[in-house]
Structure 1
Amino acid sequence: MGILVFLFVLILALVIQASFAISPDGEALLSFKAAIVRSNGDLLQWKEEDRNPCHWIGVRCDPTNQVISLILPRRKLLGPISPEISKLNSLNVLDLRYNALYGTIPPELGNCTLLNSIFLQFNYLGGAIPAEFGVLSQLKNLDISSNLLGGSIPSSLGKLSKLSKFNVSTNFLLGPIPSDGVLSTFAEDSFVGNRALCGTQINVVCKVEPVNSSAMSHLPDGSKGPERNSARFLISALATVGALLLVALMCFWGCFLFKKFAKKDSQGLAIDVSGGASIVMFHGDLPYSSKDIIKKLEMLNDEHIIGSGGFGTVYKLAMDDGNVFALKRIIKTNVGLDRFFEGELAILGSIKHRYLVNLRGYCNSPASKLLIYDFLPGGSLDEALHGNQPFLTCLRTSSNLLSSCTLSTWHSKVNLFKSKI
């Protein structure tokens, strides 16, 4: 009887554990996340304790909770593509375009036989195009343009009978373009920017070394003809390998520097505030003391980053009463410009306009300026400009009118002629 009770408890524990365990698709996605060195922060929402990854950013599932799409364009992803992504057996769409991915394209993606779209353009992916892509019989869209890919185009891609969009432009591909199968139907636009490619698709004749039979008959064994061809091939191969090694070294060095300075920047905010800081507020309608604000600033870290640009990093600052602000950190480069910079901030802080984000104040620390703005939940300007929202077309076409209207309003109220807007 005791043994039966023990077995029942053991089976029940295993069932409970299995019910709370993350799915295999979730494990594959977490492996993909672990390989990413840096991102815009969206992947922080992917957590191991979530049993179902279907609500994660960039992930779409079918009714059976199988992942069918991984769509993460323009997420500032830095790192290699983990081969574990090939364990997403139901994957239909892989969209990682416009990031900073490096390394090779995993040949294991050939195991995702349901893939119909692969978008990896505008990254730093190197190596060869996987010949394993030739078994993806459902593939309709393949765009791997604007990368660092080398070698030849696999002839196996010609077997992809459903392929309707194909783009390998702006890489370092070489050799003849396969003329058999579906690849013969694509025009020059699909291959432009690969100077060493040749074929009928781009109207470049592939050069073949002529063989003079009469001359070769008089040459002894080990003649210079084959040796010359071998030497040319060896030089070409060494040049290609050298270029790829140089690119790999640059990617490695860039990654090293990025990690080094990113780590330094993530610690810098707390160091700035703890080193002594003063708060300057432009509007008296905020019920916070300088002590309250500095206390919140000391708690900010990488998880609170919502954007970055050429002038600094932007953090999300949430107060205890629920109000949210955007905090922009600007590193000081010239101490002598502090007074001029503070004068500029005082002018901007006095302006209230519907086209201008309200500057509430700033924190002056020894190493940086921390600008406190009203938080706008609509996302970044970069995401808006590259989106498909209909109203953006109107804004783009009437940008001159909008700018002139805004500037004329500012100049009529505040003396900004000597300020940099």
Structure 2
Amino acid sequence: MGLLIWIFKLVLLATLFSICPLALNSDGITLLEIKNVLNDTKNALSNWRDTDETPCLWTGITCNSKDQSVISINLPYMQLGGIISPSIGKLTKLQRLALHQNSLHGFIPHEISNCSELKALYLRANYLQGGIPSEIGNLSSLTILDLSSNSLKGAIPSSLGRLSRLRYMNLSTNFFSGEIPDFGSLSGFGSNSFIGNLDLCGRQVHKPCRTSLGFPAVLPHAASDEAAPPSKRPSHSIKWLLIGAMSMLGVALIVVLAFLWVWSLSKKERAAKKYTEVKKQVEPDAGTKLITFHGDLPYPSFEIIEKLEALDEEDVVGSGGFGTVYRMVMNDCGTFAVKRIDRSREGSDQVFERELEVLGSIKHINLVNLRGYCRLPTSKLLIYDYLAMGSLDDLLHEQTNSGEVLSWSSRLKIALGSARGLAYLHHDCCPRVVHRDIKSSNILLDENMEPHVSDFGLAKLLKDEEAHVTTVVAGTFGYLAPEYLQSGRATQKSDVYSFGVLLLELVTGKRPTDPCFVQKGLNVVGWMNTLLRENRLDDILDRKCPDVDSEEAEAILDIASRCTDADPDRRPSMNEVLQVLEQEVMSPCPSDFYESHSDYC
């Protein structure tokens, strides 16, 4: 009888467990709290169910295999709305939070500082408001911080300088203001990390702050009591005489300080003023006109025009499809690139200048900054940032004889940054821009090997009836999509094709029309497809790049193949290309990623 009762209890327990599964662990409950304040328009989180034991198989979630704790939330491009729940701070083992390219609003919760093991924080391209919580400076393991393209405002907290492991930071295209702290790790980031915040000043963005007057802002103290003889007190009349003298001295001092204030402002106004609109500077004569965009050229008009007029053949650093490029060095050694426009354009100068102002308003860390425009009696000149390392074309093809080889990690960094810049033009900037001339000579590199897409918008701006023929003759034939060659009509998908060719150039080290396969009637796209069909991956990879990772290269080739599909409808958008690249280049297991790719994190 006792045995039957024991068996009955076992059956009852088994039945209860089948009806009531094990409860969801604490990290899973936290994720459901986060989901509850999100607007999941695509129903992407439909498999986040409270009936599961752990969240480790949920969309976008990665867990530690030992204790089932959540270490990664990867939900970019999911069209998620709503806010970031303060419950995020309960995920104490979280190493990666990627919510970029969604529609999130509200504030960055300060509770995120409880995620003490967080290494990568991607919140780019949302609608987040408020400021950066100072508590983020407590995330001692943080290596990547990307808060760009939001509506964040206020001062940049100096606590970020405590992030000693920070290797990549992007705060661009927000509404931050005030002086950038020159402290700790913040002192190691240049203007690219802050571009597009018009009210920021400081050493990193080469803009002096308004409070930098050149003399003490605090009035000097009067002589101390120790200066008076200790044994004698002044008489009543002498006391009042001293007070009167001090009063007159104070008035005189105030007058002098006021004069110095006015003089200082008049001298530094151009350099310190935070522009919120395009500033049109003085025209020295009827044949000359200078326009600077959003205060990006803090120099007197006469100095800029003097430097532009003095440019000659010794200053030439290159040439492109639109004209000759010069290097212009200012009196304070500030350096800029000047493009002399050779191509004619129909239409009024006023329309041309208005369209240039639109291009001058486009700011992104991976786009070359258009600083200004000058019309001289004999030429039209565009003024850009000067990128010290030159073009990708130079580094990839022209310097191979000197023994310098572009490393694989640098190539991945260039591919990713170029995709970000082009995706911004296609999807995020207003108005949206089709580049029309993506090629390696239009990818410029700074001293940190960060890529910047140049010449965006110029192909349309300078287009005339024969512009597409001129482009082909200029040597960019290998980059042009088949439908663009046939119709002369450029679209976002023809840009995607050109970007696919650029990826092939990075992987193979060959130009789009390299002689080794042109003789067979192929371009780089046909050559790649032929070798892939023959399973000859090793023959595709650039043999001059010894550290190439074959698995990563195969993934990049797969993206390139999709981008260069003959049918434009089957090509991905640049946002989709960027998403895949970020997953392949930036999204391996966090612990492995930071060790193997520390040079571009």
TM-score (norm 1): 0.50
| Cα separation, partners in 2 of 1:49 and 1:219, compared to 1, 3 Å | farther
Within 5 Å, which residues of 2 pair with 1:353-364? none
Identify if the C-alpha distance between structure 1 residues 218 and 30 changes in structure 2 by more than 3 Å, giving closer, same or farther: same
Q: How many Å apart are 1:390 and its aligned residue? A: 3.2
After TM superposition, the structure 1 = structure 2 runs for residues 194-343 of structure 1, keeping only pairs within 5 Å, are 194-208=197-211, 210=213, 211=217, 213=219, 217-218=250-251
2: distance between equivalents of 1:186 and 1:208?
22
Within 5 Å, give how 1:175-194 maps onto structure 2.
175-194=178-197
1:392 positional shift: 3.3
Bigger Rg, structure 1 or 2? 2
* Secondary structure of 2:29 counterpart: helix
Deviation of the 1:217 alpha carbon: 2.5
Say if 1:22 and 1:395 are closer, same or farther in 2 by CA, change over 3 A: closer
Q: Provide the secondary structure at the position in 1 that maps to 2:145.
A: strand
Query: Counterparts of 1:19 and 1:156 in 2: how far apart (Å)?
Result: 45
Matched, 1:147 2:150: yes
Query: Deviations for 1:82-139, whole angstroms, at most 9, x for unmatched residues?
Result: 1111111100000000000000001000000000000000000000101000110000
Of 393, 398, 403, the residue aligned with 2:560 is 393
Tell me by how many angstroms 1:391 deviates.
Answer: 2.8
Return 81-90 or 33-42, whichever deviates more. 33-42
- For 2:102, the equivalent position in structure 1 comes to 99
Letter in 2 for 1:31: E
TM alignment of 1:1-150, pairs within 5 A? 20-64=22-66, 65-150=68-153
Specify whether residues 155 and 51 from structure 1 end up closer, same or farther in structure 2 by C-alpha distance, changes over 3 A only: same
- Provide, for residues 299-323 of structure 1, a one-character-per-residue CA deviation record: whole Å limited to 9, x for no partner: xxxxxxxxxxxxxxxxxxxxxxxxx
Distance 1:103 1:21 in 2: 32
Displacement after TM superposition at 1:142 (Å): 0.3
Distance in structure 1 (CA, Å) of the matches to 2:156 and 2:93: 26
For 1:42, the aligned partner's letter is A
Letter in 2 for 1:217: G
CA gap 1:212/1:60 in 2 versus in 1, 3 angstroms:
closer
- Correspondence list, 1:396-415, <5 A: 396-399=563-566, 402=567
Counterpart code for 2:31: L
Task: Classify the secondary structure of the residue corresponding to 1:139.
Answer: coil
Rounded Cα–Cα distance in structure 2 between residues aligned with 1:59 and 1:84: 16
Aligned position for 1:408: none
C-alpha distance 403-166 of structure 1, shift in aligned 2 (>3 A): closer
Helix, strand or coil at the partner of 2:105: strand
Alpha-carbon shift at residue 41 of structure 1 (Å): 1.4
1:417 maps to none
Query: Residue 158 of structure 1 aligns to a residue in which SS?
Result: helix
CA RMSD of aligned residues (A): 3.7
Deviations 1:195-254 (Å, cap 9, x if unpaired)?
Answer: 010111110111117548599932999xxx9xxxxxxxxxxxxxxxxxxxxxxxxxxxxx
Q: Is the 8 A contact 2:21 2:51 kept in 1?
A: no
Q: Does structure 1 conserve the Cα–Cα contact (< 8 Å) formed by 2:172 and 2:193?
A: yes
Letter matched to residue 218 of structure 1: V
Judged with a 3 Å threshold, the aligned counterparts in structure 2 of structure 1 residues 194 and 59 are, in CA distance, closer, same or farther, namely same
The 1:76/1:18 distance shift into structure 2, 3 A limit, reads same
2:172 is matched with 169
Going from structure 1 to structure 2, the CA distance change for 1:137 and 1:195 (only over 3 Å counts) comes to same
Letter in 2 for 1:87: K
Distance of aligned partners of 1:97 and 1:403 in 2 relative to their CA distance in 1, 3 Å threshold: closer
Q: 1:131 to 1:45 in 2, by over 3 A?
A: same
Instruction: Give me the whole-angstrom Cα distance separating, in 2, the residues matched to 1:75 and 1:163.
Output: 27
- Residue by residue over 1:25-71, the C-alpha shift from the partner in whole angstroms, topping out at 9 and shown as x without a partner, is 00110011100123321111101111111000100001120100000
Once residues 47 and 28 of structure 2 are traced to their aligned partners in structure 1, the CA distance between those partners, rounded to angstroms, is: 13
Report how far residue 394 of structure 1 moved: 2.3
CA distance in 2: counterparts of 1:122 and 1:183, whole angstroms:
22
Pick closer, same or farther for the CA change 1:219–1:123 going to 2, 3 Å: farther
The structure-2 alpha-carbon separation of the partners of 1:21 and 1:159, relative to structure 1 and needing over 3 Å to count, comes to: same
Q: 2: distance between equivalents of 1:216 and 1:128?
A: 45
Provide closer, same or farther for how the CA distance between residues 167 and 134 of structure 1 changes in structure 2, counting only shifts above 3 A: same
What's the TM-score, normalizing by structure 2? 0.36
Assess if the C-alpha contact under 8 Å between 2:90 and 2:115 holds in 1: yes
State how far apart, in whole Å, the 1-side matches of 2:155 and 2:186 are.
Answer: 13
User: 1:403, 1:150 → 2: CA distance?
Assistant: 40
Is the contact between residue 187 and residue 204 of structure 2 (CA under 8 Å) also seen in structure 1? yes
Task: Kindly provide the amino acid, as one letter, of the partner of residue 148 in structure 2.
Answer: S
Moved over 3 A (4+): 15-19, 209-216, 384-390
Distance 1:203 1:87 in 2: 40
Aligned length: 235
- SS class of match (1:43): coil
Code of the residue aligned with 2:80 in structure 1: it is L
